[in-house]
Structure 1
């Protein structure tokens, strides 16, 4: 399906395929949306680059950028597997773009062979919530953005018997990939390829190895926390990113413990290590996302984390046109 000629866009707008070359435009759009809704920007440009770094079958028309008459980005959408992402610039709300993008995501998902489609919407975005519900979507899970305030240096407990901990280092990538994907298989919709996983974790410029502790038992990796420092390119020599979202706080991208090693305090230990590492880098807070399917919220709350905001994952069964 050709976005430019589909006739789905409101008068005065034109859609075209989005690629990694559109990162800056999409990031400005998403930043405007987040600032309007939350009062701060939380998505970095490198996250947009990772989202647009498509490959294989999904690379053709899997993301769309909608432009106004001046050629400025007014909205965008992306379909990956059974998940869709949509943002409308606050200056272009109320003009039918949300409904048009919703129709586009469903049509694109069907073309990719999907039988259902899910989309995450901030609970504060009442208009988007109402649009999805009116379109037949139902709430599936709740997601929470949690915050750990760190006014003083966090204490780190001793490792459990037989467990050793060190910071992530080169050569740990494959083991961390297998560990985290095995853990996430319990609730994620599909297993990621290594290349896709790396784009969102260890391959990001802001990946912070020093704040990403890994745990071992008998020489085998059994736990990992993979973190990002949004205020800097996490590797030595990387330049600071002026005005980067969340530059004053650390961010945990993945937390995983091998199933047979759970309930031993390993996740608590690794997270405490992460919090302390970020504190020593000058951060006074650290955030992470979790959702209701993982059952991890009580763990994070026991660590002292609190909910900053919430979102809901909405899902709809798709039928063939």
Structure 2
């Protein structure tokens, strides 16, 4: 696939993103999501927390496209192969998305990546464009929701186990549990604790109750979850959930989910959400606690 992108439409300009762009970028992505799915899942806090990681160089990893002062499109490459991009709906059909895809491929190749991919809503304009450009589906993701008013099911813990808010001493062990679990199926480098800490504790609105852990009778962290309240809607979002491999099939994941849902409701949420994908095999777990699928995304990628 050729790297040279077509020219952008006349009059458009480009520059790297800066941290000061978080709000206008949120507005752009929200407009695209509203057009494609009918609802907005992105939060400005998601952008701010990603950009807070010490290892991430935003200026070297992003491009913003402007029509005058209006941000009309962007692309960003996190690490070597995880891409994100958006085009303002009114500016679609002008070749901007094709230009962004080529820009991302070139940047990925310059970093030594063998593949570059990005999530798009299934059947959306972005999905159709990437399919036409030869991108294949790498995995499928589902957004699941515990609907408003649905009773939270109870789940018993093994004797001596406790689910609670994380303490200071739990934080690094909890990060290890998360990374060990996610790296069983995710092909990426291990996340440094400093990146995790900056993007978690530095997330706008973070409060200690957001970090949940399950501990065994000796006090060791064996499972963990992160749950945040949306700033855009009364929704609690479980952003990460993991159980140590030797502690699985004991009901800990379900107990931690129930705790996360309850904590979210205690802090004003009326619904709870999370996402999972086909690499994890966890869809059935979430359905067992009453969650229903509300959206389907695909990660489309291309070999470089």
Aligned twin of 1:260: 246
Hey, what's the Cα distance between the residues in 2 that align with 1:179 and 1:255? 9
* TM-score with structure 2 setting the length: 0.91
Q: What are the equivalent positions in structure 2 for 1:187-266 lying under 5 Å apart?
A: 187-190=185-188, 191-217=190-216, 218-231=218-231, 244=232, 247-266=233-252
Give, in angstroms, the shift of residue 152 of structure 1.
5.4
22 and 94 in structure 1: CA distance in 2 versus 1, 3 angstrom threshold: same
Aligned twin of 1:179: 177
Hey, what's the Cα distance between the residues in 1 that align with 2:198 and 2:230? 15
Question: Does residue 286 of structure 2 align to residue 300 of structure 1?
Answer: yes
Hey, what's the Cα distance between the residues in 1 that align with 2:162 and 2:187? 32
Hey, what's the Cα distance between the residues in 1 that align with 2:82 and 2:300? 10
Note the alpha carbon deviations across 1:222-262, whole angstroms, 9 max, x for none: 0011111113xxxxxxxxxxxx2xx2110001100000000
Contact 1:173 1:202 in 2 (8 A): no
Deviates more, 1:46-55 or 1:247-256: 46-55
Note the alpha carbon deviations across 1:159-211, whole angstroms, 9 max, x for none: 11231221123343212211101110111221212233234434312335325
Aligned twin of 2:14: 15
204 and 198 in structure 1: CA distance in 2 versus 1, 3 angstrom threshold: same
Hey, what's the Cα distance between the residues in 1 that align with 2:268 and 2:53? 35
Question: Does residue 156 of structure 2 align to residue 158 of structure 1?
Answer: yes
Q: How many residues align?
A: 297
Question: Does residue 106 of structure 2 align to residue 107 of structure 1?
Answer: yes
- Equivalent position to 1:269, from 255, 262, 287: 255
- Equivalent position to 2:141, from 136, 140, 143: 143
Give, in angstroms, the shift of residue 303 of structure 1.
0.8
Hey, what's the Cα distance between the residues in 1 that align with 2:211 and 2:256? 8
Aligned twin of 1:131: 129
Hey, what's the Cα distance between the residues in 2 that align with 1:212 and 1:59? 27
Question: Does residue 166 of structure 2 align to residue 168 of structure 1?
Answer: yes
Q: What are the equivalent positions in structure 2 for 1:52-63 lying under 5 Å apart?
A: 52-53=51-52, 55-56=54-55, 58-63=57-62
Question: Does residue 75 of structure 2 align to residue 77 of structure 1?
Answer: yes
Structure 2: gaps spanning 5 or more residues: none
* TM-score with structure 1 setting the length: 0.86
Hey, what's the Cα distance between the residues in 2 that align with 1:282 and 1:54? 29
Contact 2:155 2:251 in 1 (8 A): no
Structure 1: gaps spanning 5 or more residues: 1-5, 232-243
Contact 2:54 2:194 in 1 (8 A): no
- SS of corresponding position for 1:61: helix
Higher relative contact order (CA 8 A, sep 6+): 2
